[in-house]
Amino acid sequence: MRTRDRPLLLRRALASVAAQRFVDYEVVLVNDGGAVEPVEAAVAGSGIDDRVVLVRNVSSVGREAAVNVGAARASGRYLVVLDDDDSWHPAFLERTTTFLDSSDDLAVAVRVEVVRERVEGDVITETSRETLAADMRRIGLVDILYGNYIPTMSLLLRRNVFDEIGGWNSALPVQADWAFNMALLSRGTVGFIDGEPLAFWHWRVDAEGALGNSVHLAAHEHVDVNLAIRDDFLREYIATGRGLGALLMIAESSRRLSAELAAAHDERQEIMRVQELKLAENLSAGLGSLRESIESMRAHLNALDHLLHSIDEGIERTMNDRWYSRFARTVRRGDDKKGTEAEGDA
């Protein structure tokens, strides 16, 4: 384990070690230039202080070099790097050691769960979880050429293999684990324990300073170092005709092409989205105009209906008036006739 000024997270990591069902282990804890008292207090309160070998670097030698410092003090036949901000399932050591005890693989990895969290004072609050590389079913050299998908806390390896490779490249500021994993897979196979996650990779995306994750705080450095590692392998291949240089170049070219195709796809999707929005706006405007036309026609029809109704009323009144006039004339003629007859009788 490597740590520096993160006692809150360190206590959680040590607690996950203390909870292991497999108990034949030792913990080599490298305090890489951090405050001494908080680390000693975390160890003293862990319940496994008798299993901890505490190594203090008076000044920091760097994250990657600290792994080699710890490995040099380790005495076990298996080795795993558990960072101070990560943790394990209680069955991690039991399942991985049992696997390697009955396997010829150089190492074994487990499924990993990414735990997103935030830290406020002395309180760690989990915000979400997700399975890392959920579709992964094996550990392969082909896949590792594209990028590192084997977090350190998930990989238990044989100590003699670590020594044969020469440990981690301490000259690298980051991604020494990726370079090591490529060297590991170049030598032989790595097993994989599928099923429930047994290792937990804790992310604090927005955290800064000591509480941050290097993969987020030093994102640009990770990109630059990744390319530098590929360049080194490619130079070796050009000079000797051996190594992973050509394959790494092909993998990077493939990754860039995939990224360009994905970007082009996203651009097309955005263009289509904008066009759909414009079409929807035009259709909405057209429907609005049509609605106004229909309302105008309805108003005209209502006016016409009102006019026709008025005409009908006028016609009816006219017809009634004419009927009444005829009736009145008929009545008058009848009255006149009766009057004339009355006069004759007189």
Q: Which domains does the chain have, with CATH numbers?
A: 2-215 (3.90.550.10)
Which of 84, 32, 27 lies closest to 57 in space, CA to CA? 32
What Å distances lie between residue 323 and 314, 330, 333, 334, CA to CA? 14, 10, 15, 16
Burial class (CB in 10 A: 0-12, 13-18, 19+), 300: exposed
CA 177 from chain centre, in angstroms, equals 23
Residues near 193 by beta carbon (within 8 Å), at least 6 away in sequence: 95, 96, 99, 108, 109, 110, 111
Which of 68, 158, 154, 153 lies closest to 107 in space, CA to CA? 158
**Cα–Cα distance, 78 to 227 (Å, whole number):** 31
The residue to which tokens 């009848």 are assigned:
334
Q: pLDDT tens digits, the chain, 346 residues: what are they?
A: 999 999 999 999 999 999 999 999 999 999 999 999 999 999 999 999 999 999 999 999 999 999 999 999 999 999 999 999 999 999 999 999 999 999 999 999 999 999 999 999 999 999 999 999 999 999 999 999 988 999 999 999 999 999 999 999 999 989 999 999 999 999 999 999 999 999 999 999 877 766 766 655 667 788 888 888 888 888 888 899 888 888 877 878 777 777 788 888 888 888 888 888 887 888 888 878 878 888 888 888 788 778 778 887 777 777 776 666 666 666 566 666 555 555 555 5
Q: Is the pTM of this model over 0.75?
A: no
Q: Residue 330 has what pLDDT?
A: 67
Hey, what are 229's tokens? 């590692």
Which of 201, 231, 227 lies closest to 216 in space, CA to CA? 201
Query: Across 132-203, where does the E strand assignment appear?
Result: 155-158, 190-193, 199-203
121 φψ region: left (φ > 0), alpha (ψ -120 to 50), beta (else): left
**Cα–Cα distance, 211 to 9 (Å, whole number):** 8
The torsion of the CA quartet 130, 136, 137, 141, rounded to 10 degrees, works out to -140
Q: What is the DSSP letter of 139?
A: B
Backbone angles phi, psi at 40, to 5 degrees: -60, -40
Hey, what are 310's tokens? 């008025």
Using DSSP's 3-state secondary structure scheme, residue 21 falls into coil
Q: Residue 329 has what pLDDT?
A: 67
Using DSSP's 3-state secondary structure scheme, residue 83 falls into coil
**Cα–Cα distance, 141 to 235 (Å, whole number):** 20
The residue to which tokens 């070690």 are assigned:
17
Hey, what are 70's tokens? 């710890």
Q: Residue 291 has what pLDDT?
A: 83
